[in-house]
Amino acid sequence: MFQSPEYSSTLSLKLSEVLEDVGVNEKMVMKRRRVFMLRDNIQTVTWRSLCDNSTTYYFGSQSEGTTTEGLHSDVDVLPVIYNINVIQDLSEWKQNKRNLLMTQDENVTPGYCFLQLVRSDEPLFETIVPNEEYIRDNKGRILLKNTILNGLREDAERHGPSNALPEKVGYSSTDIVFGFPCNSLPQSALHSLDRQSIGRLPTSEMIRYAVSNGCFVVGTSSKISTYPELEWRISTSLGERCFMFNLNITQLHCYVLLKIILKSFLTPERESALSSFMCKTVVLHCIQNTDRFIWKNNNIFTCFTYCLLVLQSYIQNENCPHFIIPENNLMAGQFTTEEKHGILRKISDIIQSDGRCLLRISIDDIGNRLQVKFHTDRVVPHGMLTPCLINENITSLLFMNLAQTISSCNLRILYFLQEKQLNLKQCILKLAKYCVHGSRLEQLASRCLVPFLFSTTGSLMVSSNIRHDYAVQYQALKWLSLGLSSDVTSGRLKLASVLYCIGDMDRAEFILKQTENRYNCDIVEPLCACWRYPWFDWSAEFKRICREQNEYCINRITSFCVRFMQSEVNLYLESYNMN
């Protein structure tokens, strides 16, 4: 293998340009992160407004901005349930809570734990098996089974601990894994974070963030576990996300390129042998062990080759140490000896090709794009999308998924209000507190939701007035007016239906004409989250706006369905009587 400095630098610059063209650029990375963090907060404030103490997190490549259209990366969702107190030490015990102690011994795979039940009235270990969710082991400990979180959604498939929603047109495949939070990190993680770093990863600020956010336990065992129904995986996803958010664009390019190589050449037959998480771990170790000044766009090919060599070494030793919990071997039980030798042979061929293998990559037309970069007189292959169109496709899907989250959360709130008899105004007050006192993202998340509830409040008041033969209160119409900012149409259509029901035809006609004028078919896209139907291609103007603007434009370019609760039935009856 031989590379002249000029060859390596030229290839690196061209490769960096190609990755920027397919959407791995600073603008798109930041846009992905903002949208997914906003979706985090929308779901979280929704649950908390419904008296449910839980938080939803989006992790993985989609939320980090480390993916491309051609990689078809999953969306990883972690709903965290706070009704259980997972502790590292009995000093963290809380009275009248279900306390579970993280227990690690010779029977537990490193990076995993058992959850031992502690009494709720005093910090002593429970000695009686309370129900079928627990089991007594041969040491007399009462341990929680990891199958407790195995509730399966009707539209999902079971993939290990996750509820997997398959990919559809307009929807990425989604893995939903439930977990419990723990406020502290295991001692092994604390020790590893204190180790010396050449590449300033993690910094002291990142370490403080990782330590203060603790970890999660997820209901899955290792592949080599002796007790598969009792082991819980320790997840440090928040710390890992913090590290990824602090990488520069060249480091992100190396990670994305490693995943593209993985999917193109290394695991086409059995994708579970190597994972993108292993690639991420390799890149983090490489960054930690090298000077940060080498990670520049004119040196990306050298950095990428170094990552491949480290991956090769890990596979050879069958040991890929988790970045935060190093004793957790990510490759334990992952592949057979035959698969190992096959993967090593392929990696060796890739390294020795001096970059020529990159020309054979079909994902995102990487190979063809590289050839066009090197030969500017080369005819661009038919069907190859321009960077502008790629960015438009990515952002329009991002924004429609954001709109779908808003619509789904509104539907969830209405369901709880109707089926659980929750108080609507209390729900609005909780969201209003986030609007005023929450973080910037919590404020924006709440403002995405409250207009829909304003419309519902006004509609319910009118329905009640009709039921009691009262005159419609001005306050009801005021609530409906506050709901007009929900999106382009739904708040206005609800107001128009109320005006029609109370016989104010002139104002109803005015609102309908105003709605029609606002609904520009070249810009506005309809959306309904009442069922998961596939989306089709969106208008060019809608895509352009998504590319050029940020997530604040969402209510000006989407049209949601109009929803009525059963308690608004008097509006329907009045409409029927008028007809």
Taking only the tens place, the pLDDT of each residue in 79-117 is: 998 889 999 999 999 998 999 999 999 999 999 999 999
Domain count, the chain: 2
Tokens of 13: 């610059």
C-alpha dihedral sign at 287, 288, 289, 294: positive
| 45 has pLDDT over 70 | yes
pLDDT of residue 502: 83
Residue 64 within any structural domain of the chain: no
Closest alpha carbon to 132 in 153, 147, 115, 114: 147
Helix (H) or strand (E) run with residue 87 in it: strand 84-87
Closest alpha carbon to 300 in 70, 1, 3, 10: 10
Q: Mean per-residue pLDDT for 389-409?
A: 95
172-199 pLDDT tens trace = 678 888 999 999 999 999 999 988 788 8
pLDDT of residue 576: 44
pLDDT of residue 2: 46
137-174 pLDDT tens trace = 999 999 999 988 765 445 545 455 555 565 665 566 78
Helix axes 249-261, 5-21, angle to 10 degrees: 90
φ/ψ region of 60 (left if φ > 0, alpha if ψ in -120 to 50, else beta) reads left
The answer to whether 310 touches 199, Cβ cutoff 8 Å, is no
Of the candidates 213, 243, 273, which is a domain's last residue?
Answer: 243
Residue 277 within any structural domain of the chain: no
The answer to whether 547 touches 395, Cβ cutoff 8 Å, is yes
pLDDT of residue 574: 54
Residue 476 within any structural domain of the chain: yes
The answer to whether 333 touches 372, Cβ cutoff 8 Å, is no
Q: Residue 159's beta-bridge partner residues?
A: 162
Residue 58 within any structural domain of the chain: no
3-state secondary structure of 420: coil
- Give the residue numbers spanning the domain of 174: 72-243
* Residue 391 pLDDT level (bands cut at 50, 70, 90): very high
The answer to whether 309 touches 301, Cβ cutoff 8 Å, is no
Dist CA 484 CA 416 (whole Å): 23
Residue 398 within any structural domain of the chain: yes
120-134, 147-161, 303-317, 328-342: least confident range? 147-161
Average pLDDT value for the chain: 90
Amino acid of residue 313: S
Residue 554 within any structural domain of the chain: yes
Of the candidates 197, 217, 243, which is a domain's last residue?
Answer: 243
Of the candidates 243, 275, 296, which is a domain's last residue?
Answer: 243
Amino acid of residue 404: Q
Look-up of token digits 């990552």 = 307
Tokens of 538: 């969106």
Q: Mean per-residue pLDDT for 255-272?
A: 84
494-526 pLDDT tens trace = 999 889 888 889 999 999 999 999 999 999 999
Residue 67 within any structural domain of the chain: no
Q: DSSP labels for 302-369?
A: HHHHHHHHHHHHHHHHT--B-SSSTTSBTTTTSS-HHHHHHHHHHHHHHHHTTTGGGGG--GGGHHHH
pLDDT of residue 534: 62
Residue 169 within any structural domain of the chain: yes
Q: In sequence order, which residues have a C-beta less than 8 Å from that of residue 346 and are 6 or more positions away? A: 265, 266
Residue 372: phi, psi to the nearest 5?
A: -65, -40
Q: Mean per-residue pLDDT for 392-399?
A: 95
CA dihedral 443, 432, 477, 415 (to 10 degrees): 90
